[in-house]
Chain A
Amino acid sequence: MAKSSKDVVMPGDELGVIEEYMPGNGTYEDDGKIKASSVGTLDLDTKSRKAGVSVSRKFSVPEVGDLVEGIVTLVKDDKAVVSIVGIRGKRPLTGEFTGELHISQAAKSYTKSMHDVTNVNDRILAKVITGWTPYQLSTADDNLGVIFATCTKCGDSLVLRGDKLVCLAEKVYERRKVSSEYSLRE
């Protein structure tokens, strides 16, 4: 019952032996045998000698390097707590994960206070830099930071004017670490 590439495999199926292949994605090694751990199509790479499964349905959990969107739930002087509501490129979440944005990861330049970076209820785009809850986040890159914010005074949406956020109703500027993907522009 030797399997060949493009075969549909499911958990427990034997894909080969470790003398022959390295265990790749969606597989595990059990007593010298490589077995599938997920449902998908088999990928036998004869060049790199890797047996992997191109997984057809994958769990949705933040992993190091993922871009996540979250809502800021708490801002302290040195950190902000973020409720992660979605992971870009992965299945929608059924729950929420907690993330933390530390001041040292907020921007490339010196930041005096997290209150200059974000505020409660902002929607932010961040990169995950640790592998478990509370996930440590970073917004240092240009494309990362606040992607939607509301006015602290009146609750209207803030719009991007130049590189600053402004409330058109109250005519006040607000300080944020703004992402280059900010949703509203003047």
Chain B
Amino acid sequence: MATEKLISDDGIRNDGRKIDELREIKFDIGVLKNTDGSAYVEWGRTKILVGVMGPRESHPKHLALADKARIDAFYRMASFSVEEWKSPAPSRRETELSKVIREALSPAVFTEYFPRTSIDIFIEVLQADGSTRCAAISAASLALVDAGIPMRDLVASIAVGKVDGQLVLDVQDKEDKEGESDMPMAYMPSKNAVTLLQMDGQITQEEFARSIDMLKKGCLEVYRLQRDAIEAHFKVSESSNEEA
């Protein structure tokens, strides 16, 4: 299978990280004009743009829920986001990711405050290098905050994989494809609640328990970066309000 080793003998991965080290993550909030809230994330080489529209009137109207807002996510990969050209038609994978992202974010949103409306989350993957669902969920929760939608908590997300028999944090594309397993988790840190947990490949029960610990630690690191981004954006918009 793997022709070259993904982790060197002294525990360094093929992109220079340690096994429990995150890629460089940069969040940007409020980057789009025509949405209610937006966020952009650079997660290593993964680049994702998220726009949130709503709460707004639900269309078609028969899909509106009488007691709460309907949340919809639209995960889309740009044709140039992967190494081989991707067909612009929505794929099975994109539809499925839209569903899991929607379900990972809905527990955090106070949908019952906005009956008969819909909140749409548009996720555009500009460049994909693994963990796009984690990056998308983390950025989308910032976009929801930017839209001013009341939330129970932020949602932070990260993946743990098994590569060359070792558990590694924050899986990149090469490790995902050539590794043995991949396990993304979305997590609400201050509620200590998991909103998404998926796994493919095979790991032992003991590895599973260790993975959960690593995932929680990773999510808390992402959470810290999210908080920094909110604080930075909030200070900027405060001072621009004073100028106006």
Contacts and interface: CB of A to CB of B under 8 A. Distances in A.
Query: For B57, B108, B188, B230, which residue has the most chain A Cβ atoms within 10 angstroms?
Result: B57
A57 B148 contact: yes
B157 to A, nearest CB: 15
A37 B152 contact: yes
Nearest to A84: B57
Q: How large is the interface on A (under 10, 10 to 19, 20 to 34, 35 or more residues)?
A: 20 to 34
Contacts, number: 93
A11 B153 CA distance: 5
Overall SS of chain A's interface = loop
A10 B229 CA distance: 11
Contacts of B234: 8, 39, 56
A59 B56 CA distance: 10
A31 to B, nearest CB: 9
Interface string B61-77: 00010000000000000
B227 to A, nearest CB: 6
B230 A39 contact: yes
B57 A11 contact: no
Contact of B57 (A10, A28, A30, A98): A98
B110 interface: yes
B237 A57 contact: yes
Contacts of B161: none
Interface of B: 34-37, 53-58, 64, 108, 110, 114-117, 145-154, 188-191, 227, 230-231, 234-235, 237-238
7 contacts: A12-B191, A57-B146, A59-B36, A60-B36, A61-B114, A133-B57, A133-B117
Given A12-B154, A12-B190, A37-B151, 14 more contacts: A12-B153, A12-B189, A37-B110, A38-B151, A56-B238, A57-B37, A57-B147, A60-B36, A61-B55, A91-B36, A94-B56, A95-B54, A97-B56, A133-B116
